[in-house]
Amino acid sequence: MEWTGRILSGLIAAWMLVGAAMDLTRNPVAVNGLRQAGYPDNALLLIGVAVLISAILYAVPRTAILGAVLLTGYMGGAVNTHVHAGNQVPQMCVAFFVGMLVWLGIWLREPRLRALLPLR
């Protein structure tokens, strides 16, 4: 169970780190997506830094719960952005389900969290 959680959490952290790298390097895909969502260009650096810090905190066992809270907030903002932009439901669902996977990964890998939130 713990290894499944570690692998899932690692995949999520890696995906978020790739997204942060795209933001911080001002990748054209990231810039275009930001503009389509109606955000100013200078927001990309702040978003990239926030995602980078959150993903690192999530990957480190001592700070994983704080990272999960921050990533959940980020994904909630992504859902809000998709709703505000009038995007289709599948795009909103991706952000929602990634937020759920963040918590599933940490629940599987962290016995203390399983003790607090038993699913039985």
In the chain, domain spans: 2-116
* pLDDT level of residue 29 (50, 70, 90 thresholds): very high
pLDDT score, position 104: 95
pLDDT at residue 42 above 80? yes
pLDDT score, position 83: 87
* pLDDT level of residue 85 (50, 70, 90 thresholds): confident
The per-residue pLDDT of the chain, averaged, comes to 92
The predicted model scores a pTM of 0.89
pLDDT at residue 120 above 80? no
CA 43 to chain centre: 17
Cβ pair 95, 82 in contact under 8 A: yes
Percent of the chain with pLDDT over 90: 68
Amino acid at 24: L
- In 3D space, the residue among 91, 117, 90 whose CA is nearest the CA of residue 104 turns out to be 117
Model pLDDT for residues 93-102, shown as the tens digit of each residue:
889 999 999 9
Reduce the secondary structure of the chain to three states and give it as a string: CHHHHHHHHHHHHHHHHHHHHHHHCCCHHHHHHHHHCCCCCCHHHHHHHHHHHHHHHHHCHHHHHHHHHHHHHHHHHHHHHHHHHCCCHHHHHHHHHHHHHHHHHHHHHCHHHHHHCCCC
pLDDT score, position 74: 95
